[in-house]
Amino acid sequence: MKYFSLNQQAPAVSFQEATILGQAPDKGLYFPERIPQVNKSLIDALQTTSNEEIAFQVIHPYVGNEIPDELLYTIVQETVNFPIPLVPVTDQIAALELFHGPTLAFKDIGARFMSRCLGYFVGQQQRKEKVVVLVATSGDTGGAVANGFYDVEGVEVVILYPSGKVSSVQEQQLTTLGKNIQALEINGTFDDCQQLVKQAFSDQSLTDRLFLTSANSINVARWLPQQFYYFFALKQWQDQEHPPVISVPSGNFGNICAGLLACKSGLPVSHFIAACNANDVVPRYMQTQQYETMKAVPTISNAMDVGNPSNFVRILELFHQNFPELQQKFTSVSISDQETKATLKRVYEQQHYLLDPHGAVGYLALERYLNEHPQERGIVLETAHPVKFYDVVEPVTGDPVPLPDALSHIMKLPKLATKMDPSYEALRSFLLKMK
């Protein structure tokens, strides 16, 4: 499989090159030259096939022979070795819980897969210099990447996060590991962090001296494995004759883009909903066909506070820039903080199910869609454990969120972070000192 840049000004590359480079030299996102079709026999046998086997068959065409099959199977085993249950909430809605991994967020899947692929590629190339993974986070990416790459030989990780705009739990997860993980607390927004990362990758005088790659969902090795849990959801879906509507809390749009890719590959899904908070670039686009970025607005669903979602260009490519075709399969709506809190409270009291703020955004968007399409049933992706946002959730429900064992020791560790203004020169100087 080759990968081409969506900016069309760079040569096509292999999976290994796309993983190591992260972004194409022309600043475009890499995209597979073709969409492989999943064997129909796998779709028919989902319920009796192991998660590891499903994941291996889904990802293999994208990797090809660049990783030996036996090792690739081991990588996917380690990537999906925790529960991903589909939990009924009402007769019409089920929640796919993606928060049972080591950092209690859906990004564990992509980060674990990518870290193992990159570790293999770096080892094969026997590089003298270390690879520097440079990543911006609006919350959960940072913790997942830090955990996935922790102590990986030959790899240094630098995580940029917006000061005061991630939850206290998220901050502890990405700032307390040390060793090869360094956190930069940026006095700005996620978009500032993302812009700094993009500037670094486009600075040839820097990339000539430092081997940089990205672990954001712009990287194909982070984005592609997110398809796995859409297949796992359908494996547990009881009504095999009527595919579900799937509602995805969306910020940078890598998650829902992976679901749409799975669907284009043959996974039966009736419709997708991109559920956004006040950062409504895509909902406005779907109404007007005018794509206008915005300055990110802070909300209680902070991981979706993105005013310039990178992965939406991949969604447009999936649908060949054909708006009517996109409209048939894809809806996007904006949910306010007030509506998010009301939904969280109502579902907790009436259904005895505790959503996190992002899941609440997705739940209300799905509920409204199903009210207009009563013959349908759906799945909401619960992307993070509610405890990661206990400071939002507890005042709404009036009850404490139990602290999982995985977090209890992290909350006592000292924060290790370097404060920095959103200045590219400051970031550049920091990175060059790592050489």
Residue 341 annotated to the active site:
no
* Active-site hit among 107, 198, 235, 341: 107
CA torsion 173→27→291→160, rounded to 10°? 20
CA-nearest of 220, 248, 21, 275 to 110 is 220
pTM to 2 decimal places: 0.91
Which of 196, 152, 157 has its CA nearest to residue 424? 196
Cα–Cα nearest to 96, from 384, 390, 388: 384
The half-sphere exposure of 378 on its side-chain side, counting CA atoms within 13 A, is: 26
What is the full per-residue pLDDT of the chain (435 aa) written as tens digits? 999 999 999 999 999 999 988 889 898 999 999 999 999 999 999 999 999 999 999 999 999 999 999 999 999 999 999 999 999 999 999 999 999 998 899 999 999 999 999 889 887 776 667 789 999 988 778 888 898 889 888 889 999 999 998 888 889 999 999 999 999 999 999 889 989 998 998 898 998 888 888 887 889 999 999 999 999 999 999 888 899 999 999 999 999 999 999 999 999 999 999 999 999 999 999 999 999 999 989 999 988 999 999 999 999 999 999 999 999 999 999 999 999 999 999 999 999 999 999 999 999 999 999 999 999 999 999 999 999 899 999 999 999 998 888 788 888 899 999 999 999 999 999 999 887
Nearest CA to 242 among 270, 272, 273? Answer: 270
Residue 54 exposure: Cα atoms within 13 Å on the Cβ side: 26
Look up residue 410 and give its DSSP letter: G
β pairing state of 378-382 and 86-88: unpaired
Residue ranges in 176-250 assigned as alpha helix (H): 190-202, 204-207, 220-223, 228-236
Beta-carbon neighbour count of residue 422 at 10 Å? 18
Please give the domain boundaries of the chain with CATH numbers for all domains: 82-106+223-401 (3.40.50.1100)
Strand order in the sheet with 86-88: 86-88, 93-97, 378-382, 245-249, 271-276, 330-334
